[in-house]
């Protein structure tokens, strides 16, 4: 065993001082870089209690887009070696501009997605999944069963068996989650409010200049930013 009970993940997270990062922290009520819980913004037509409730789940992960999903460390590996590998991977890719963001509803939850697919970003995510796979411990049987309970396609089942997660490689879709799954009526109301709030961040290309290593110290703890590794060939 590695002796580390934490989980790790590789995310895209905007530069902590950027306007997009500040929006995400204020919307979710959690700043994973500062490990702080700033007051959530006041949103017209949503009570503070409602906003807090619909962001409980994404708050635990921080504002991000998943590149390599959360995993426990495999036997014989450690966090230092993982960090070195993430840094080496980052230096294989140049910074690039992805298409602008757009607000979208995915199976009932709201998220920021790309306005169109980005082969460079797809390639970066695939490299994070495959090249760092030696650090991933196999998921437990209950974890596998939980993933299957959502109802997977044959392709997703194959990805789950190979990579421990069904929404990677050709099933990868860049998204920055903003809410839990909502019923259609509540979802429509929340989406209307979000559309105005995210409009300023959906006007220009999204700069992909770093990948980030996140850590969760225990299963009921929030993920926190360990380090951003800048892309640079």
What is the dotted CATH code of the domain comprising 7-230? Answer: 3.90.1140.10
| Residue 181, Cβ density class (10 Å: 0-12 exposed, 13-18 middle, ≥19 buried) | middle
Confidence at residue 1, expressed as pLDDT on a 0 to 100 scale: 44
Tell me the mean pLDDT per 10 residues along the chain, length 233. Answer: 79 97 98 96 90 96 98 96 98 98 96 98 98 96 91 95 96 98 94 96 97 95 98 89
Cα 133 from Cα 111, distance rounded (Å): 27
CB atoms within 10 A of CB 73: 21
Cα within 13 Å of Cα(17), Cβ side: 0
Domain-wise residue ranges, the chain:
7-230
Confidence at residue 214, expressed as pLDDT on a 0 to 100 scale: 98
Q: What is the DSSP string of 65-90?
A: EEEEEEEEBPTT--HHHHHHHHHHHH
Q: In a 3-state reduction of DSSP, which class is residue 227?
A: strand
Distances (CA, A) of 49 to 56, 105, 110: 11, 22, 18
b or e along 188-217 (b: 16 or more beta carbons within 10 Å of the residue's beta carbon)? eebbeebeebbeebeeeebebbbbbbbbbe
Confidence at residue 48, expressed as pLDDT on a 0 to 100 scale: 94
Confidence at residue 3, expressed as pLDDT on a 0 to 100 scale: 59
């Amino acid at each position: 065993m590695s002796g580390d009970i934490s989980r790790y993940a590789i995310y895209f997270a905007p530069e902590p001082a950027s306007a997009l990062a500040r929006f995400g922290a204020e919307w979710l009520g959690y700043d994973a870089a500062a490990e702080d819980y700033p007051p959530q913004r006041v949103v017209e037509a949503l009570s503070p209690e409602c906003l807090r409730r619909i962001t409980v789940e994404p708050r635990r992960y921080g504002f991000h887009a998943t590149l390599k999903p959360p995993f426990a460390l495999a036997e014989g590996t450690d966090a230092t070696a993982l960090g070195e590998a993430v840094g080496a991977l980052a230096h294989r890719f140049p910074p690039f501009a992805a298409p602008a963001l757009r607000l979208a509803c995915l199976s009932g939850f709201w998220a920021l997605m790309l306005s169109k697919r980005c082969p460079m970003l797809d390639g970066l995510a695939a490299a994070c999944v495959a090249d760092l796979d030696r650090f991933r411990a196999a998921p437990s049987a209950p974890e596998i069963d939980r993933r299957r309970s959502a109802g997977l396609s044959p392709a997703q089942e194959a990805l789950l068996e190979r990579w421990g997660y069904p929404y990677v490689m050709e099933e990868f879709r860049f998204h920055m989650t903003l809410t839990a799954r909502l019923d259609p009526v509540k979802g429509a109301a929340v989406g209307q409010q979000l559309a105005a709030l995210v409009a300023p961040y959906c006007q220009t290309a999204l700069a992909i200049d770093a990948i980030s290593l996140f850590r969760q110290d225990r299963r009921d703890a929030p993920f926190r930013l360990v380090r951003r590794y800048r892309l640079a060939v």
